[in-house]
Amino acid sequence: MKAKWVVRALLLFVVYAAAMFVYIFISDNSGVPETLRGTVADPSTFMSQRELYLSEGYSKTRNFLYFIMTPFEWLIYLVILLTGLSRLFERAGQKSSKWAAGQTTVYLLFLTFTASLVMLPLRYVSYWVSKQYGLSTQPVSEWLKHHAIDLCFDFGWSFIMVSIIYFFIRRSVKRWWMYVWMATIPLMLFYSFVKPEIIDPLYNDFTPIENKQLEEKILALADQAGIPAEHVYEVKMAGQTNTMNAYVTGIGSNTRIVLWDTTLQQLSEGEILFVMAHEMGHYVKKDVYRGMILYFAITFVSFWIVAKLMNRIIRKYGKALHIERLEAIHSLPLYLLLSSVVLFASDPLSNMVSRHEENLADQYALELIGNEKDAISTFQALAKTSLSETNPPLLVKWFRYSHPPLIDRIYNVKKQEKKE
């Protein structure tokens, strides 16, 4: 019976992957609207035929990988449950230590290692695709190093969260989800505060920007925006990627203005100032705090849904999934599976809100800088260096685009220009 469940799950995943392949690679579900063809928003006016070809191939491949990687992770957790591996991991933890913390550590080591090992080929394919299309400049050794840092950080975070979750489950089977949600609020605020100082430097080198004249102009903009920043930081990314980025990170006294060195190398001064004005728009409009409120609201609903579903599934299918009771740590793969499904389903809402905030930040930057030409050339440069779709298919836009498609951003600039 359990073998049949595994086979059915695998077949369902194959059917889903095939459907996504048809949608992304075969269906004609994107393109430049007739009204925008030949305008500055049309990629054929600022990208070469080779760039258009690479953009289409890269975007479709990355979109397909995105839509199969998360469901593949669900499949891993389901198989771990159906095969009884989760129970075996729990017993290994019980044999290795008499302390709850030691048992949790051993269990998570087995679970994390198994899931990561199975996911590694897909993660490597994603890295390899970026490398083949010229976006990634990262050597395999550096990619493995960053992957190892991710694993260590994820393991530490998982240990904290799992300890909190099962602490409250064992004390209140009905209300654990609410207590866990309340516990995550100070944790996330603390993470946002220490991220610029402790987490980010684990991955990259941050140094004060070398171009002091540019720094003065950026800090002048920051002063206009009321951002408490004394320095602009440059992060060395050229050894990892050819893409560009800039952001304002942190909260309170830990706020940082950050530019990738690739951005400094590939954009003009006017374009860089527009990018920074856009990022400052997020700060001025309190998008970080609104984003946190939205995150807390989504996680509140997510914890409630997951708690309800876990109880029902364990009651009905607990025997088949080798789950004896909710409060046993071997139920963790079910929690991870359901949490991932619920959060994946919430992505369209999160992205819709984010795209709205990005539009407002673009408008703020235009008001602050007042240079539509630099805005348009910035978006065109971003499209070329990232090989991103300027007008993606609907499902891709819903699930993947936290920023408006570049064709919309360029079109909005032109509309603003006409109003003036």
CA geometry: angle 164, 168, 169, nearest 5 deg: 115
136 within a domain of the structure (yes/no): yes
Across residues 57-72, what is the average pLDDT? Answer: 94
Look-up of token digits 């459907």: 19
237 within a domain of the structure (yes/no): no
358 is in an annotated binding site: yes
| Type of residue at 329 | I
**pLDDT grade, residue 248 (50/70/90)?**
confident
**pLDDT grade, residue 45 (50/70/90)?**
confident
At 202-245, the pLDDT tens digits run: 777 788 888 888 888 888 888 887 777 667 788 888 888 888 88
pLDDT value of residue 250: 66
Beta strand pairing call for 246-249 and 256-260: antiparallel
- For residue 257, give the H/E element and its range: strand 256-260
Strand order in the sheet with 256-260: 206-208, 232-235, 256-260, 246-249
CA geometry: angle 128, 378, 259, nearest 5 deg: 65
* Residue 361 CA, distance from chain mean position: 20
Residue 253 has pLDDT above 70, yes or no: no
Across residues 342-355, what is the average pLDDT? Answer: 94
Look-up of token digits 């990005």: 358
277 within a domain of the structure (yes/no): no
Q: Note whether 232 and 208 are within 8 A (CB).
A: yes
279 assigned to active site: yes
At 355-378, the pLDDT tens digits run: 999 999 999 998 888 778 889 999
At 97-110, the pLDDT tens digits run: 889 899 999 999 99
Across residues 27-36, what is the average pLDDT? Answer: 73
pLDDT value of residue 290: 85
Tell me how far apart the alpha carbons of residues 2 and 13 are, in angstroms, rounded to a whole number.
17
3-state secondary structure of 249: strand
Catalytic one of 271, 362, 374, 408 = 362
Please state the domain count of the chain. 1
207 φ, ψ (degrees, to nearest 5): -135, 155
Residue 276 has pLDDT above 60, yes or no: yes
Tell me how far apart the alpha carbons of residues 377 and 269 are, in angstroms, rounded to a whole number.
12
Residue 194 has pLDDT above 80, yes or no: no
Residue 198 has pLDDT above 80, yes or no: no
Across residues 37-58, what is the average pLDDT? Answer: 86
Residue 413 domain boundaries: 2-202+287-419
pLDDT value of residue 35: 78
Catalytic one of 90, 271, 279, 287 = 279
358 within a domain of the structure (yes/no): yes
**How many Cα atoms within 13 Å fall on the side-chain side of residue 71?**
17
Sign of CA dihedral 211, 212, 216, 218: positive
287-294: Cβ within 8 A, 24+ apart: 287/357, 287/361, 288/192, 288/251, 289/251, 290/357, 291/354, 291/357, 292/188, 292/189, 292/192, 294/350, 294/353
Q: Note whether 380 and 46 are within 8 A (CB).
A: yes
Sign of CA dihedral 57, 63, 67, 69: positive
Cβ neighbourhood burial of 332 (10 Å; 0-12, 13-18, 19+): buried
| Type of residue at 59 | S
**What is the DSSP code (8-state) at residue 241?**
B
Structure tokens at 228: 């408490």
347 assigned to active site: no
382 within a domain of the structure (yes/no): yes
- Which of 71-80, 274-283, 305-314, 343-352 is predicted least confidently? 274-283
At 384-420, the pLDDT tens digits run: 888 888 788 889 999 999 989 888 888 888 776 555 5
* Residue 47 CA, distance from chain mean position: 27
Tell me how far apart the alpha carbons of residues 107 and 93 are, in angstroms, rounded to a whole number.
5
334 within a domain of the structure (yes/no): yes
Cβ neighbourhood burial of 77 (10 Å; 0-12, 13-18, 19+): buried
pTM: 0.89
224 within a domain of the structure (yes/no): no
Beta strand pairing call for 206-208 and 246-249: unpaired
If you average pLDDT over every residue of the chain, what do you get?
88
**pLDDT grade, residue 19 (50/70/90)?**
very high
How far, in Å, are 52, 71, 241 from residue 287 at the CA level?
Answer: 33, 30, 27
Task: Enumerate residues 6+ apart whose C-beta is below 8 A from 120.
Answer: none
pLDDT value of residue 335: 97
230 within a domain of the structure (yes/no): no
Tell me how far apart the alpha carbons of residues 123 and 67 are, in angstroms, rounded to a whole number.
13
Helix axes 49-82, 2-21, angle to 10 degrees: 170
As beta bridge partners, residue 208 has: 233
Residue 133 has pLDDT above 80, yes or no: yes
Q: Which residues of 357-370 are buried (b: 16+ CB within 10 A; e: fewer)?
A: bbebbbbbbbebbe
